[in-house]
A = this chain, B = another copy of it.
Amino acid sequence: MWVRKRSLWWLNKLSPFQLIALFYLSAVTISSILIALPVAHQPGVELAFIDILFTAVSAVSVTGLTTVSTVDTFSTTGIFIIAFVLQFGGIGVMTLGTMVWLILGKKIGLKERRLIMADQNQTSFQGMVRMVKEIVIVVLLIEFIGFLILGTYYLQYYEPAQAYLHGFFSSVSATTNGGFDITGQSLIPFKNDYFVQFIHMVLIIAGAIGFPVLIEVKQYLLKPSHKKIQFTLFAKLTTFTFLVLVVVGALIIAVLESNHYFAGKDWHEILFFSLFQSVTTRSGGLATLPISEFTGQTQLFMSALMFIGASPSSVGGGIRTTTFALVIIFILTFARGESNIKIFRREVHNEDLNRAVAVTMMAVITCFVAVLTLTITEPYDLNKLIFEVCSAFGTTGLSLGITAGLSTFGKVILMLLMFIGRIGILTFLFTWKKDRKSKSYHYPKERIIIG
């Protein structure tokens, strides 16, 4: 007992945010070792250390940016390893860690619960343990249904074993918003198969809309009387913002490309191309067309969408949808000269606004510095660098095809961005400060989750 206590004493000195960073770093290390195993590679393939590390960071952060072609580099074993890492990264190291504790029959202490809270940005202690269970069950259920539908549907394209392997990998990669593909060219082979695209969009949204929303929807659907369930302000705001971004994003992409990539295409092609590419910027990372053939203005617009990213407490990154919504509401309220901010008949906490603002400012500065640094070391056009930086920060994984060609230094910059994007810039910010009795954990009123 004494030895164990002694060997772990330093863990208690870390703040929850520092612990999360530490756990993610451990996950990257373990994933790197797994990915480096010779059995994970295709015969004859040799991976450089930087590419192993990049793949591990990209998989743990469920980004999907790659410096090597997944299908040409990894064996079937390797593909299962990546799917496992995506799963692990998507559901969150903390959540899984808690599950292990649960399975081992241990009681979850205050410190551990706070850890999960910070990771999933939950501000209420109650129902934490129950929620973690629910997260895992819901995600696995969604993935299993996706696997069955896609695997069975793929029988028309592949041999049975291949069909279900593709179905399994697609379902995991879409639901965790992993963005990895084993077709070698994302979803482009299915650009005319709207059913495959539709299923992928549903799975991506399920992963990116945020676990709390999924849980609330589940509760709503399972309750005998629907009237008893009151959706939280958070669920309403994040879902509303998410859907507005998807619809407005698709519309603007359709307009921007109407005289370019979409010229001469049928309405249903334009609809699915626009919609899928809009959905995928939330953090999916799969694409049904080569984004590099879009015009510069569409790429810049998609960069902004990726910068905003997915909902908090989801598998996605970026500044998060709620943060974006609060910033917009803040500006509008300020311009109208009002001081209290109200949405959906609730008043927003000032501290939440400060968080939203701090997250956004910090993100803008971080991405700007990253882009500026890359312009020094990389020979690519500015719009390509902006796109890749936003894709990494939003843990989206879309690429204009330059990631493989980056210098080692450039790859390190993208890895840092994926890491920051995944753990959230707020966590990243708080990693550097001491845990001060964590004032922010006991608010009486209803709160909005930021970043």
Contacts and interface: CB of A to CB of B under 8 A. Distances in A.
A117 to B, nearest CB: 16
Contact of A372 (B301, B327, B364, B376): B301
Interface string A345-376: 00000000011011011101100100110011
Nearest to A357: B357
A277 B301 CA distance: 31
A297 B375 contact: yes
B327 A361 contact: yes
A430 B354 CA distance: 22
A381 B330 CA distance: 33
Number of copies: 2
Of A295, A330, A361, A430, most B-chain CB atoms within 10 Å: A361
A77 B429 CA distance: 58
Contacts of A360: 361
Contact of A334 (B295, B327, B358): B358
Contact of A382 (B296, B331, B335, B372): B296
Contacts of A381: 381-382
A300 B330 contact: no
A429 B381 CA distance: 34
A357 B383 CA distance: 27
A13 interface: no
A436 B331 CA distance: 18
B304 A337 contact: no
Contacts of A182: none
B297 A335 contact: no
Contact of A297 (B354, B365, B372): B372
B375 A335 contact: no
B358 A330 contact: yes
A372 B361 CA distance: 20
**Which DSSP category, helix, strand, loop or mixed, fits chain A's interface?**
helix
A337 B300 contact: no
Interface residues of A, number: 38
B296 A335 contact: no
B376 A335 contact: no
A300 B361 contact: no
Contacts of A218: none
B337 A358 contact: no
A230 to B, nearest CB: 31
A355 B339 CA distance: 11
Contact of A335 (B256, B372, B432, B439): B432
Contacts of A429: 334-335
A326 to B, nearest CB: 11
A433 interface: yes
A336 interface: yes
A355 B333 CA distance: 12
Nearest to A335: B429
Interface string A415-451: 0000000000000011011001001000000000000
15 contacts: A256-B376, A295-B375, A297-B372, A297-B375, A304-B372, A330-B361, A331-B365, A334-B354, A335-B430, A336-B433, A337-B430, A337-B439, A381-B382, A382-B382, A382-B386
Interface of A: 256, 295-297, 300-301, 304, 327, 330-331, 334-337, 354-355, 357-358, 360-362, 364-365, 368, 371-372, 375-376, 381-383, 386, 429-430, 432-433, 436, 439
Given A301-B372, A360-B361, 11 more contacts: A295-B375, A296-B375, A300-B372, A330-B357, A331-B358, A331-B362, A331-B365, A335-B430, A357-B357, A364-B364, A382-B382
